[in-house]
Amino acid sequence: MNNRIFKNSLNFFVYIIIGVVLYFIISHFITTVKVEGNSMYPNLVNKERVILFPQAKVKRNSVIVFDAHGEDPKAVNNDDYVKRVIGMPGDHISFKNHQLYINGEDVKQNYISKSQQQQGSEYSNDNGHLKDWNIATLSETKWEYNKNATVVPKGEYFVMGDNRAISNDSRYWGFVKQDKILGVAHTLPWSTNKTARHNINDLA
């Protein structure tokens, strides 16, 4: 009788220990965050919850969550942005005649509409006119930080929202530092459609 009680108690504590270990492992490698706003529409929508992988490698087209405080001059503490990585360290980024270019090569962006790729990817200058751009012109005319940049610096990234026309992103304030990135985002299997899952999960 005592042996059975001891074994049952031991099994119970083993399960607790396993559960605690699994919790710490999962919370370290995977967490969830809520999207705020529609700057990633139509692939992510306001209030949608995504899985965040803090240890995942950041690649071109990865959708990342990052601490925007200190990157965007208007961001305050606990302002986390969700954007897509467009430019990797060392890249030349430009937008001309309604086409995005990386290192002189035109970029296919099948994850957003033609309108988002073209009109949406322009930016307004202080007079309200729409203009083409490259990193040099952005850094000179728009950015408070990263002045005189011509390429994406080492350890930093150029990001844009999928909903370009309303997205507050690297076009307006500059690069995202590696140590500001909280993780790579993936959609939950039940929270979106197949196309959006592909555009967020598979392109990373």
To the query of whether residue 191 is one of the catalytic residues in this protein, the response is no
Give the amino acid at 122: E
CA nearest to 157, candidates 175, 139, 170, 140: 175
To the query of whether residue 62 is one of the catalytic residues in this protein, the response is no
Rounded Cα distance between 120 and 39, Å, is 11
Q: Give the contacts of 131 (CB within 8 A, at least 6 positions apart).
A: 122, 123, 124, 125, 137
Which of 83, 121, 142, 170 is flagged as catalytic?
83
Tell me which residue has tokens 């969830």.
32
Sign of CA dihedral 119, 80, 92, 101: negative
Rounded Cα distance between 96 and 118, Å, is 9
CA nearest to 107, candidates 83, 135, 134, 87: 87
Which of 39, 62, 121, 167 is flagged as catalytic?
39
Residues annotated as catalytic are 39, 83
